[in-house]
Amino acid sequence: MPVKKSLQFIAVALLLAGGVTSRALESDAQLSQLGHTAWRIRDGAFNGAVNDVTQTADGFLWIATDNGLLKYDGVRFVHVGSGSILALQAAQDGSLWFGTGQSLFHMRSGQVEKLQGPDVHVNNIRQDVHGTIWFTRSRSNSGPLCEVVGSKFHCLTAADGVTLPYAEALAADARGDLWVASGSRLLRGHSGVFQEYPHPELSAAETSNGIESLTPRADGSILVGITRAGSGLGLQSLKDGIWHDAYSEPVSSSAWSVTSTLVDRDGTAWVGTSDKGLFRIRQDGIDHFGESDGLSGNTISSLFEDNEGDVWVGTKKGLDRFRNLFVKTFSTTEGLGSDSVHSVAAASQGGVWVGNKGSLSTLRNGKAFNYFPKTGLPGQRVTALLEDHAARLWVGVDADLYVFDKGRFTRVLDSEGHATGAVVSIQEDTEHNVWVLASRRPYVLLRLSPTSRQLQVQPLRFDPYAIVADPAGGLFIDGGKHGSPLIHFQQGSIETWTPKTKIQRTSFAFAKDGSKWASTSSGVELFNRQDSRFLDKSNGLPCNHVFSVVFDKSENLWVYSECGLVTIANSELSKFESDSRYSVRSHLFDIFDGALPNGADFAPRVTRSTDGWLWFANGTDVQEIDPSHAQLVAAAPNAEIDAIVARHVEQEAVSGMKLPALTRDVDLRYTAPALAIPERVRFRCRLDGHDKEWQDSTKLRDAFYTDLRPGDYTFRVVSGDADGNWSRKEAQFSFTILPAWYQTKTFLAVCAALGSLVILLAYRLRSRQIRREAQARYDERLAERTRIARDIHDTLLQTIQGSKMLADAALVQMSEHDQAQPRVQMLSTWLGNAMEEGRTALRSLRTPVIEQQSLETLIQDALDDCALSSKIVTALNVDGEPAAMSVCVREEVYRIAYEAITNACLHSKGKRLDVVMTYGEAFELRVKDDGAGIASEFVKEGRLGHFGLAGMRERARFLSADLTFKASPGDGTEVLLRVPRSSLLESARPSIWVRFVRLIRGE
Do 340 and 191 fall within a single domain? no
Flag whether pLDDT at 231 surpasses 60. yes
* Residues 202 and 349 placed together within one structural domain of the fold: no
**614 and 700: one domain?**
no
**DSSP codes, 488-506:** EEETTEEEE-S--------
- Is residue 138 within 8 Å of residue 144, measured between CB atoms? yes
Residue 793 counted as domain residue: no
Instruction: Tell me the C-alpha distance between 331 and 256, whole Å.
Output: 28
Q: Quick check: bond before 250 cis, omega within 30?
A: yes
Q: Report yes or no: 101 and 138 within 8 Å, Cβ to Cβ.
A: no
pLDDT at 1 over 70: no
Q: Which residue from 347, 341, 334, 346 is spatially nearest to 360, judged by alpha carbons?
A: 341
d(CA 257, CA 233): 8
Q: Are strands 657-659 and 731-737 parallel, antiparallel or unpaired?
A: parallel
pLDDT at 809: 78
pLDDT-derived band of residue 27, with 50, 70 and 90 as boundaries? confident
Q: In this structure, what DSSP letter does residue 741 have? A: G
Question: Each residue of 95-149: pLDDT tens digit?
Answer: 999 999 999 999 998 889 999 888 889 999 999 999 999 999 987 778 899 999 9
Instruction: Please report, in angstroms and rounded to a whole number, the separation of the first and last CA atoms in the chain.
Output: 78
Residue 1001 has pLDDT above 70, yes or no: no
Strand, coil or helix: what is 329?
Answer: strand
Q: What φ, ψ does residue 142 adopt, rounded to 5°?
A: -105, 25
Question: 558 CB contacts (<8 Å, ≥6 apart)?
Answer: 549, 550, 551, 552, 565, 566, 567, 568, 614, 625, 627
- d(CA 759, CA 8) in angstroms, rounded, equals 74
**Are 145 and 161 contained in the same domain?**
yes
> Of 326, 357, 380, which marks where a domain is finished?
326
pLDDT(586) > 60: yes
- Is pLDDT of 994 > 60? no
Look at residues 602, 629, 656 and tell me which one is the last residue of a structural domain: 629
More confident residue, 466 or 463: 466
Domain boundary among 743, 769, 795: 743
| CATH classification at residue 720 | 2.60.40.10
Q: How confident is the model at residue 704 (pLDDT cuts 50, 70, 90)?
A: very high
As for how many domains the chain has, the answer is: 4
Backbone angles phi, psi at 125, to 5 degrees: -135, 135
Nearest to 627 by CA among 646, 650, 609, 642: 609
One domain for residues 663 and 730: yes
Across residues 239-264, what is the average pLDDT? 88
- Whether residues 252 and 340 share a domain: the answer is no
CB 443 within 8 A of CB 480: no
| Confidence at residue 823, expressed as pLDDT on a 0 to 100 scale | 76
* Residue 179 forms part of a structural domain: yes
Q: Is residue 817 part of a domain?
A: no
> In this model, does residue 21 exceed pLDDT 80?
no
The 3-class SS string of 396-411 reads: EECCEEEEEECCEEEE
Strands ordered across the beta sheet of 85-90? 85-90, 96-100, 104-108, 111-114
- The CATH number for 445's domain is 2.130.10.10
Read off the pLDDT of each residue in 939-953 and give the average, rounded to a whole number.
Answer: 69
Give the list of residues 6+ apart from residue 584 with CB closer than 8 angstroms, or none. 535, 539, 540, 541, 568, 572, 573, 575, 576
Output the CA torsion sign for 747, 753, 759, 764.
negative
Which of 953, 969, 950 has the alpha carbon at shortest distance from 961? 953
358 plus 313 within the same structural domain = no
d(CA 855, CA 490): 128
Residue 859 vs residues 903, 917, 924: alpha-carbon distances, Å: 14, 10, 14
User: Do 669 and 690 form a contact (C-beta atoms < 8 A)?
Assistant: no
| Residues 6+ away with beta carbon under 8 Å from 649 | none
Q: What is the sign of the dihedral through the CA atoms of 587, 593, 594 and 596?
A: positive
Task: Kindly give, in sequence order, each residue whose CB lies less than 8 Å from that of residue 215, ignoring residues fewer than 6 positions away.
Answer: 171, 222, 223, 225, 261, 262, 263, 269
- The tens digit of pLDDT for each residue in 165-196 reads 889 999 999 988 999 998 889 999 986 789 99
Which among 927, 921, 912, 920 has a CA at the least distance from the CA of 877? 927
Q: Which of 283-292, 941-950, 987-996 has the lowest mean pLDDT?
A: 987-996
Residue 15 pLDDT: 29
Lowest mean pLDDT among 369-378, 793-802, 947-956: 793-802
Query: SS3 letters for 154-212?
Result: EEECHHHCCCCCCCCEEEECCCCCEEEECCCCEEEEECCEEEECCCCCCCCCCCCCCEE
> What are the E-state strand segments in 845-931?
873-879, 912-919, 922-929
Specify burial of residue 7 (Cβ count, 10 A radius: 0-12, 13-18, 19+).
middle
Residue 538 counted as domain residue = yes
887 in a domain, yes or no? Answer: yes
- Do 485 and 389 reside in the same domain of the chain? yes
- The percent of residues in the chain predicted with pLDDT above 90, rounded, is 50
Confidence of residue 713 (pLDDT cuts 50, 70, 90): very high
Residue scoring higher pLDDT (885 or 911): 911
Strand order in the sheet with 466-469: 466-469, 475-478, 486-490, 493-496
Q: Where are the beta strands (DSSP E) in 873-980?
A: 873-879, 912-919, 922-929, 962-967, 973-980
Calculate the average pLDDT of the chain: 86
Residue 989 has a pLDDT of 45
Say if CB 376 and CB 406 are below 8 A apart.
no
Higher pLDDT, 436 or 450: 436
Residue 614 Cα to chain centre, angstroms: 37
Give the pLDDT score at 837.
65
The whole-number average pLDDT for the span 890-908 is 84
Domain ranges, residue 544: 330-629
Written as one letter, the residue type at 746 is: T
The reply to whether 9 falls in a domain is no
Regarding whether 375 and 295 lie in a shared domain, the answer is no
Mean pLDDT on 490-505: 80
Cα–Cα distance, 400 to 414 (Å, whole number): 10
867 and 973 co-located in one domain: yes
Residue 41 lies in a domain: yes
Give the CB-side neighbour count of residue 42, counting CA atoms within 13 A.
Answer: 6
Number of residues written out for the chain: 1003
The percent of residues above 70 in pLDDT, for the chain, comes to 90
Do 448 and 454 meet the contact criterion of CB atoms below 8 Å apart?
yes
Q: What angle in degrees, to the nearest 10, is found between the helix axes of 796-813 and 745-794?
A: 30
User: 77-81 and 85-90 as β-strands: parallel, antiparallel, unpaired?
Assistant: unpaired
- 784 vs 509, residue with greater confidence: 509
Which CATH number do you get for residue 982? 3.30.565.10
In a domain, 461, yes or no: yes
The pairing of beta strand 702-705 with beta strand 523-527: unpaired
- Residue-level pLDDT at 721: 83
Residue 1000: per-residue pLDDT: 60
Pairing of strands 50-55, 61-65: antiparallel
Examine the domain organization and report whether 527 and 586 are in the same domain.
yes
State how far the Cα of 60 lies from the Cα of 57, in Å rounded to an integer.
8
pLDDT category, 993, cuts 50, 70, 90? low
Q: Which residues contact 851 (CB under 8 A, 6 or more apart)?
A: none
| Mean local confidence (pLDDT), 198-225 | 82
For residue 566, CA distances in Å to 246, 534, 541, 569, 595 come to 43, 15, 8, 10, 10
Identify whether residues 412 and 516 lie together within a single domain.
yes
Confidence check: pLDDT of 794 > 80: no
